[in-house]
Every structure is written in structure tokens, then in C-alpha cells.
Amino acid sequence: MLKVEHVTKYYGDFLAVDDLSFTVKEGEIFGLLGVNGAGKTTTFRMIIGLLDKTKGEITLNGKNIDYSVTDSIGFLTEERSLLTKLTVKEQVIYYGILKGMKEEEILAKLDELLAKFNISEYKNRKIKELSKGNQQKIQFITAIINDPKLLILDEPFSGLDPINVELFMNVIKEYKEKGSMIIFSSHRMEHVELFCEKLVVLVNGRSVLSGKIKDIKKEYRKKNIIINGDVKKEELAAIKGVVNVTKTANDYIVKIEDESYVDQVFNYVKKCSNITKFTVEEPSLNEIFISKVGESYEG
Ligand code: ATP
């Protein structure tokens, strides 16, 4: 288990991470969220020991993280740091050896991963000749070449097209199935909502929302009702328990205090004509975040 306990980081007088605590268990995917400058990269650098903490403790299976455990860690850095003059094969061998692997073991794993990412034909090409997305695949392959027990991914999806986002997510899920601890950062709530169970949202280095997504949604009792048909916005807004009503291109979105008010809205809608949709939905994480923090979270 990765344990981050009451970790604080000051750069001079500037507080970048403020009393942050969370745990990541084997087989868990954990999301670290926050807008630019929230403290995500600083947190990752402290976890892998690239940066000293000002206060707090970070342990992996009860041990401090130092050179004795780095062979079981994979790290995808935010600033893409490939050796662009090397070929894909040379680059991956270089990092694999740094992780204590034997060359034949690296080559076997490389072939398997290149095939998985549909880029086998680039094995002997120079990194600088590859597109940005393919370079990112190589960097990801470099991070997982040693089958890490702890996989840290700083903005793994940035710059990827939707097909490659899904490909990356599927590979990350495979590592989850194998029991790895995975921690990734993103400033896009929808990426997190799609595939992780637990998260921390950082604002100015401080956690403003944390826990299991299921519990966060349960605790946030407000629900949305989506309606399509001849209803009147003012009449919906006047119903008890309705917080607000928004009209989109096709539907009305009615936000209610909690589930107990669904019946009252339904009773009104029953009296209206041409109703083609009445759906009760959980709010998105993005909506919960905006409502909790009161600011836009589009990054
Ligand atoms: P982004 O999404 O933009 O990568 P982030 O959440 O990863 O942001 P960090 O890079 O951890 O954020 O930075 C957190 C804060 O600490 C920012 O305000 C940043 O300017 C500041 N900071 C980061 N590195 C240093 C440093 N070496 N010296 C001083 N301040 C720093």
C-alpha cells in the first residue's frame, strides 16, 4: 500500500502542498486532480523521492521510498523526457537496464508492448521521427517496461486522441487487474469518472474533495432530472425541492434537492404533453466540484 500522510511542501515561503493524506491499495486506480499549479507534480515528485517533503511521511508497503524500491516503480513524467536521437529500442533498453532488467527480458516485453500499442513498426525508428502521440506511447511503455507495482502517471492522457485515451485506459486497467497500485493526475474530471474509484481534488495544494467516487456522489444528494416535452420552465422552477432549471438545445435539466422530490416533478410532468424523456441522473463529478469549490474546473 502507498501511504501519503500529512505531507506538506513549501518552496521557500510558498505553500505548494498543504497537509495532504491519502492511501492507494494494490489493485486500485487513484486520481489526483487539480487545475494547473494545484500541486500534482510536486506530490508525485515527493512520492518518488525526487523532491524533499517539508513535513509528513510517504511509505510504500511500510518502507520509505528510496533506491531499494525504485525498481518496482514506474513513472510517466509530465514533461515528456525521451532521448530523441535514440531509436525506440535503444531508449527502452536504456531505461529497462536502469530498472535492473536483463536485455533479453526487456526486448521480449518491448515486442509485447509495441504490439499492444499498435506501433510494432516503429521499433527501430528514431524517437524524433515519431508523432507526439506515438512518442507518448513510447514514454508510457518505458514507464511500464518493468511491470511496476506502483505506477505513477502524470497527465497520461494529455494530447491523446479519444481512441488512444481508451487504449491507455485499457492498459492501465490491465495493471490494476494484476494488482499494481496506480496513481494518475489529470485536470479533466471525465477521465477520472471513467475509470478510477478513489480521488483527491487539490486546490492550491489543499484537498477539497476526497474519497470514493461512489461515496462522494451519494453524499452529494442533489440529482438531475432530464425532461423532453412541452413543459414550462417557470412552472418547473416553482415546484418544491427544485433548485434550478436549465434549458439545453433539446432538454430541460431540473436540479432537485434530493431524490425525494422526484415524485413532485413527475406529477407535474404527467400533466404535460409530448413527453419523450424523463430521466433521473446522478450529477457529474465536474458539477459536484464546481458546486463545492464555486469555480470553473475546465483547466
Ligand atoms: P500542472 O497541472 O500545471 O502541471 P501541478 O498541479 O502539477 O500543475 P505543480 O507543478 O506541483 O502543480 O506546482 C504547484 C505550485 O508550486 C505552483 O504554483 C508552482 O508554480 C509552484 N512550484 C512548482 N515547482 C516550484 C519550484 N521549483 N519553485 C517554486 N515554486 C514551484
What residue ranges do the domains of the chain occupy?
Answer: 2-217, 221-281
Burial class of 208 by CB neighbour count within 10 A (0 to 12, 13 to 18, 19+): middle
- In this predicted structure, what is the pLDDT of residue 295? 55
Q: How far is the CA of 106 from the centre of ligand 1 (A)?
A: 34
Residue 203 pairs in a beta bridge with 206
CA pair distance 195, 132, nearest whole angstrom: 24
> What string of pLDDT tens digits covers the 299 residues of the chain?
999 999 999 999 999 999 999 999 999 999 998 878 889 999 999 999 889 999 999 999 998 888 778 788 999 987 767 778 889 999 999 999 988 899 999 999 999 999 999 999 999 999 999 998 999 999 999 999 999 999 999 999 888 888 999 999 999 999 999 999 999 998 788 788 878 889 998 989 999 889 998 888 888 888 999 999 999 999 999 999 999 999 999 999 999 999 999 999 999 999 999 999 999 998 888 888 877 766 544 44
Closest CA to 20 of 34, 33, 5: 5
Q: Cβ(189)–Cβ(286) under 8 Å?
A: yes
Q: How far is the CA of 275 from the centre of ligand 1 (A)?
A: 50
Would you say domain 221-281 falls under CATH 3.30.70.920? yes
Length of the chain: 299
**Top-level class of domain 2-217:** alpha beta
Taking only Cα atoms into account, the Rg of the chain, rounded to an integer number of angstroms, comes to 23
Q: How far is the CA of 15 from the centre of ligand 1 (A)?
A: 10
Tell me if 299 CB under 6 Å of ligand 1: no
AA letter at 240: K
Q: How far is the CA of 40 from the centre of ligand 1 (A)?
A: 8
Q: 3-class SS at 261? A: helix
Tell me if 159 CB under 6 Å of ligand 1: no
Residue 61 sits at φ, ψ, to 5 deg, of 45, 45
CA pair distance 34, 140, nearest whole angstrom: 22
- In this predicted structure, what is the pLDDT of residue 294? 63
Tell me if 11 CB under 6 Å of ligand 1: yes
Closest CA to 32 of 210, 204, 180, 175: 210
Closest ligand 1 atom, residue 38 Cα: 6
Q: To test ligand 1's pocket by mutation, which of 9, 20, 35, 40 has the most ligand atoms within 8 angstroms of CB? A: 40
What's the grid cell of residue 52? 524533499
Q: To test ligand 1's pocket by mutation, which of 7, 9, 11, 51 has the most ligand atoms within 8 angstroms of CB? A: 11
Whole-model pTM?
A: 0.83
- In this predicted structure, what is the pLDDT of residue 299? 45
